[in-house]
Amino acid sequence: MKDKSKTISQSIAYRLEQMILDGSLPPEKKLPSERQLAERLGVSRSVVREALRELAGRGIVETIHGRGSFAKKVIEEIGETSPLMELYNTHARTLYDLYEVRALLEGEAAALAAENGTQEEHYAITKAFKEMEAVPAPANFALDYTFHLRIVEASHNPVLVHLLASLKSPLLKSVVTSLSNLVHRETFREHIERHHKQIYNAIISRNAVWARKSAATHVKYVSDALQNLEASDQPVIRDFSIEL
């Protein structure tokens, strides 16, 4: 239905490209070995190699001898040393600028995930949600991030996926920031958990409008809470060194 009159290796190249774009294959992360791909796709290793060559020629993947093949990041990721990161570390307002954009993008992602998400993706979201719920508050920042990531992936919008991927570093940092500062306050924790549940339910029930509103409100709430916190007395802790 889709492999119209093409050579097998070209079909494979197309499928791989599709996976990379949709985020099914995480950007800048190692993708399966040639032998694994060959077996999984039911073709010989040769065609896999030729497909990878073609994608390499287009600059979509990069393969390194002895290590493997990697999907090249579509949009430059913001590293720890980027100018934006500098701003973020020095200027308080940038944090809220980030939340502002985040509210937009995550809202859209949630809406699209509700509309276009496949059953598998909704299951992945469910899984991430339950895992996040299971772990007590302070230690689940990684799961929190994963939950949001699954939603974005289910949006089926490559531009959105890669844009949010490029914000990974500051985003992660912001998640840690919010959780560290707010989580020990019972009220905030309940709010956040309730928001997550709202977002989750909206997406699963495919209510796009509700999903967008919930996600945007959630981010906005966290941002406002941080801002109030900082305005009142306690300084917002910003500096963390984490890996994921």
In the list 32, 115, 158, 208, the residue contacting a second copy (rule: CB under 8 A) is: 158
Position among 157, 177, 178, 214 found at the interface with a second copy (CB under 8 A): 157
60 part of the interface to a second copy, by CB under 8 A: yes
- What's the min distance (Å) between Cβ of 61 and DNA? 10
- Which residues, in sequence order, are bridge partners of residue 61? 71
**Residues within window 161-180 making contact with a second copy, judged by CB under 8 A:** 162-163, 166-167
Q: How far apart are CA 127 and CA 209, in angstroms?
A: 23
Task: Report how far apart, in Å, the C-alpha atoms of 192 and of each of 15, 101, 211, 225 are.
Answer: 38, 19, 15, 11
The number of angstroms, rounded, from the C-alpha of 97 to the middle of its chain's C-alpha atoms is: 19
Q: Pick from 66, 83, 136, 235: which binds DNA (CB under 7 A)?
A: 66
Number of residues near DNA (by CB under 7 A): 22
Question: Contacts with a second copy: how many residues (CB under 8 A)?
Answer: 48
Residue in 34, 39, 50, 131 binding a second copy, rule: CB under 8 A:
50
Stretch that binds a second copy, among 7-15, 30-38, 120-128, 194-202 (CB under 8 A): 7-15
Options 13-21, 140-148, 187-195, 219-227: segment touching a second copy (CB under 8 A): 13-21
Question: Which residues between 74 and 113 bind a second copy (CB under 8 A)?
Answer: 74-76, 78, 81, 83-84, 86-87, 90-91, 94, 97-98, 100-101, 104-105, 108
Q: Choose, by CB under 8 A, the member of 135, 139, 159, 237 that binds a second copy.
A: 159
* Residues of the shown chain interacting with DNA in the complex, contacts defined by CB under 7 A: 7-9, 33-36, 42-47, 49-50, 63-69
* Residues of the shown chain interacting with a second copy in the complex, contacts defined by CB under 8 A: 7, 9, 13, 17-18, 21, 46, 49-51, 53-60, 65, 72-76, 78, 81, 83-84, 86-87, 90-91, 94, 97-98, 100-101, 104-105, 108, 157-160, 162-163, 166-167
